[in-house]
């Protein structure tokens, strides 16, 4: 795992595939004849796709082994909900504000913890996750209902047109826009000087540091940016579902997001988003299994880690390896 050793800066080969995928997603409502049930899951796919990809950005590229992703998502959702319910902030303003609040929390958590070694960051961020559960569950002082609920979060309005909750299509397109925007943003970060700094740090840490690349600074920047993206998606989720609860901090959500990243392949750019689509829809398809599906999910995580360490995107590496191995055999045979 870790960053793909065959990491290349350009991905022009994949461009056609991306355009095709975007066009396909654009016409989904037409293809499915405005099927609300299906589109609802695609909106969730968009939300989780960005969240998983933001996690992948810090875990796979920046090498920050953070377990705080769901905590940031929840902070974004509750910040947006509280802003709109308590202060009457418009949802359009609420989303970036929630993102900023989440980024601030990420910055404050990152300040002491990002200097630590990998495993310890996981623990500090997971402590944030657990702490948040306790705070949300008993957050009566800041207007959270008993049991960690927020009800009746206002819907988005667009020039007097209120996004209806029973028709998903407007949410679908907003979600798609956010999904593409943030994926491009993450792609841009990976290929920006910050992303290159991480590649340098990974390939030759002493040299990179001697050239003046400040690991801590770049980690802090990426950690805060990832928190911002996650916070905005959390806010979008809150406005979309209207009712949020502390159940978001449950272990099932956490492991679901984790398997999205693992299945897609840690440190392989669009992998986590693809993983999000597979897991969100697959998990819904497993509904008849009831509580057992969490066990299935857990087993799936372990099997993926043991037998598919590079995820789906890593599968190409295997093909490459097999091709090379065959070639080697051929050469040996011909000698």
Partner 1 sequence: MDPWVYKILSGLIDGLTIGSVYALIALGLALVFGVTRTFNFAHGSFFTWGAYFAWTIQKAFGKEISHLVIFAIVIPALYSLGWVFEKIVVRPLRKSTNWLIIVMLTTLASALILDTTALVVFGPLTKSIPPLFEGRVMIGQIAISINDLSIFIIAILIISLLTLFLNKTRQGTAMRAVAQDLDGANIVGIYSDKIFGYSLGISAVLAGIAGILLAPKYFISPMGGWTPYIKSFIIVFLGGLGSFKGAVCAAFILGIIEAMVVLYISTVWVMPVWFVVLLIILIFRPKGLFGIWE
Residues making contact with partner 1 (CB under 8 A):
1-2, 65, 112-113, 115-120, 122-124, 126-128, 130-131, 134-135, 138, 251-252, 254-255, 258-259, 262, 291-292, 294-295, 297-299, 301-302, 305-306, 309
Task: Give min distance, CB of 72 to partner 1, in A.
Answer: 16
Tell me if residue 149 falls in helix, strand or coil. Answer: strand
Q: How many CB atoms sit inside 10 A of residue 220's CB?
A: 19
Task: Give min distance, CB of 1 to partner 1, in A.
Answer: 5
Task: Give min distance, CB of 63 to partner 1, in A.
Answer: 10
The answer to whether the beta carbons of residues 128 and 230 sit under 8 Å apart is: no
- Please, what's the b/e burial string for 292-318 (b: 16 or more CB within 10 A of its CB; e: otherwise)? ebbeebeebbeebeeeeebbbbbeebe
- Tell me which H or E stretch contains 109: helix 91-113
Task: Give min distance, CB of 305 to partner 1, in A.
Answer: 5
Task: Give min distance, CB of 29 to partner 1, in A.
Answer: 35
Q: What is the largest CA-CA distance in the chain?
A: 79
DSSP 248: G
| Complex with partner 1: residue 187 or 253, whichever CB lies closer | 253
Q: Is 244 left (phi over 0), alpha (psi -120 to 50) or beta?
A: beta
Distance CA 143, CA 268 (A): 40
Task: Give min distance, CB of 60 to partner 1, in A.
Answer: 12
Task: Give min distance, CB of 226 to partner 1, in A.
Answer: 18
| Complex with partner 1: residue 176 or 259, whichever CB lies closer | 259
| Complex with partner 1: residue 130 or 177, whichever CB lies closer | 130
| Complex with partner 1: residue 8 or 117, whichever CB lies closer | 117
Distance CA 270, CA 61 (A): 12
The answer to whether the beta carbons of residues 190 and 61 sit under 8 Å apart is: yes
| Complex with partner 1: residue 2 or 164, whichever CB lies closer | 2
Taking alpha carbons only, the member of 34, 20, 24 closest to residue 170 is 34
- Tell me which H or E stretch contains 329: helix 311-334
DSSP 250: S
Q: How many CB atoms sit inside 10 A of residue 216's CB?
A: 11
| Complex with partner 1: residue 124 or 281, whichever CB lies closer | 124
How many distinct helices (H) and strands (E) make up the chain?
14, 4
Task: Give min distance, CB of 137 to partner 1, in A.
Answer: 9
Q: Is 173 left (phi over 0), alpha (psi -120 to 50) or beta?
A: alpha
| Complex with partner 1: residue 13 or 117, whichever CB lies closer | 117
| Complex with partner 1: residue 42 or 58, whichever CB lies closer | 58
Length of the chain: 335
Using a 10 angstrom Cβ sphere, with 0-12 exposed, 13-18 middle and 19 or more buried, the burial of residue 145 is exposed
Name 244's bridge partners: 150
Task: Give min distance, CB of 140 to partner 1, in A.
Answer: 10
| Complex with partner 1: residue 92 or 120, whichever CB lies closer | 120
């Amino acid at each position: 795992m870790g960053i793909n050793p065959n990491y290349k800066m350009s991905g022009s080969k994949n461009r056609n595939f991306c355009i095709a995928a975007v066009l396909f997603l654009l016409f989904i409502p037409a293809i499915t004849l405005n099927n609300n049930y299906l589109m609802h899951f695609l909106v969730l796919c968009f939300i989780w796709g960005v969240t998983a990809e933001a996690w992948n950005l810090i875990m796979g590229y920046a090498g920050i082994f953070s377990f705080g992703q769901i905590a940031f998502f929840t902070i974004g959702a509750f910040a947006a909900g509280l802003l709109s319910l308590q202060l009457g902030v418009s949802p359009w303003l609420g989303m970036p504000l929630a993102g900023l609040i989440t980024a601030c929390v990420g910055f404050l958590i990152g300040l002491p913890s990002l200097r630590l070694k990998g495993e310890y960051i996981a623990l500090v961020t997971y402590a944030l996750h657990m702490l948040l559960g306790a705070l949300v569950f008993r957050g009566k002082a800041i207007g959270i209902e008993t049991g960690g609920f927020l009800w009746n979060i206002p819907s988005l309005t667009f020039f007097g047109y209120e996004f209806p909750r029973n028709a998903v299509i407007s949410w679908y397109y907003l979600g798609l826009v956010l999904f593409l925007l943030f994926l491009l943003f993450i792609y841009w970060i990976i290929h920006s000087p910050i992303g290159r700094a991480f590649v340098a740090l990974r390939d030759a840490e002493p040299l990179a540091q001697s050239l003046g690349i400040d690991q801590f600074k770049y980690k802090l920047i990426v950690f805060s940016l990832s928190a911002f993206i996650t916070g905005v998606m959390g806010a979008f989720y809150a406005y979309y579902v209207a009712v949020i609860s502390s159940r978001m901090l449950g272990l099932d959500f956490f492991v679901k997001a984790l398997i999205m990243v693992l299945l897609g392949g840690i440190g392989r750019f669009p992998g986590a988003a693809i993983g999000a689509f597979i897991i969100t829809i697959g998990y819904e398809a497993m509904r008849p299994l009831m509580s057992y599906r969490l066990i299935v999910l857990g087993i799936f995580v372990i099997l993926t880690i043991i037998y598919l360490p590079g995820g789906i995107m890593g599968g190409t590496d295997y093909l490459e390896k097999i091709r090379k191995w065959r070639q080697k055999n051929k050469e040996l045979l011909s000698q």
